[in-house]
Amino acid sequence: MDYRTAEDQVIRYRAFAGMVGEATNVGVTGDELDVYDVFDTLISDMSKAMPPVACRNGCNQCCYHPPLVTSLEWSALYPHLLNLSPVRQELLIEQADALRPLTKDLGALRRRVLGADRAEAIGDFSMQCPMLIDGKCAVYAGRPLVCRGYGQTLRISGDKSVFFGSNLAFAHMRENFPEDTALPLFDPYVDRISALNEASAGTEAFLPQWLWAHIENNAFVPEAIIRPAF
């Protein structure tokens, strides 16, 4: 593990935040112009200077709140879904269909979230992510930004920054990390995707809503639809 002071870490975090401001795409080019690549490189760099976070292979503690996903993120995720085996695609369709009784609730929640403070609007709404198969994400390489940052970043809340993650992840950090540990802000990466999504006339919806919009005749449509009629 590399030794870095908290000040050293903050300087590096700011450099990555500046870099993402120049990003032009989400999950497309796999380089410094790709928001996902910049963020994943940030997390990889951060992990070299601190103990392991609570996240580990097979952990799905964060997969029980519906992620709000932009059109650009869905476009990056959908090819990973189409590359799954027919058996796994069929299972995802079954799991998405099992959530259809929540159609009205998710529709109302989406309208509230898009017009209010997101964390407050979502509140304690809970459901298993339909992308989970045997407790693991079936499209991990294409997962949305929120899934990449949860449990190891900070979010701005009012005039302060707060841990963005579960109570379990926070307790793990308090027990295993030095008191002066510095974590990166998640907001610059979220803001960049939002700006790119808005510039491309994209929309946002919860993951089950994206899935429902892409299922026809019990199969996934061949191409991502950027702005479905949710």
Contact present, 188 and 51 (Cβ < 8 Å)? no
Pairing label, strands 219-220, 215-216: antiparallel
Residue 229 falls inside a structural domain:
no
What single letter denotes the amino acid at residue 7?
A: E
Q: Per residue of the chain (230 residues), give pLDDT as tens.
A: 677 888 899 999 999 999 999 999 999 999 999 999 999 999 999 999 888 777 666 666 678 778 899 999 999 999 999 999 999 999 999 999 999 999 999 999 999 888 766 655 566 677 889 999 998 999 999 999 999 999 899 999 888 999 988 888 888 888 888 888 889 999 999 999 999 999 999 999 999 999 999 999 999 999 999 999 99
Q: Which residues form the domain of 20?
A: 6-220
Number of domains in the chain: 1
Residue 64 falls inside a structural domain:
yes
Residue 130 falls inside a structural domain:
yes
Q: How far apart are CA 138 and CA 121, in angstroms?
A: 27
DSSP 51: P
Q: How far apart are CA 52 and CA 181, in angstroms?
A: 12
Residue 230 falls inside a structural domain:
no
Residue 33 falls inside a structural domain:
yes
Q: Shortest CA distance to 211 belongs to which of 201, 197, 225, 194?
A: 225
Q: How far apart are CA 213 and CA 230, in angstroms?
A: 7
Point out which residues pair with 125 in neighbouring strands. Answer: none
Residue 227 falls inside a structural domain:
no
Residue 203 falls inside a structural domain:
yes
Residue 200 falls inside a structural domain:
yes
Burial of 218 (0-12, 13-18, 19+ CB in 10 A): exposed
Alpha helices in 99-201 (DSSP H): 103-114, 118-122, 145-149, 167-176, 187-199
- pTM for the model: 0.91
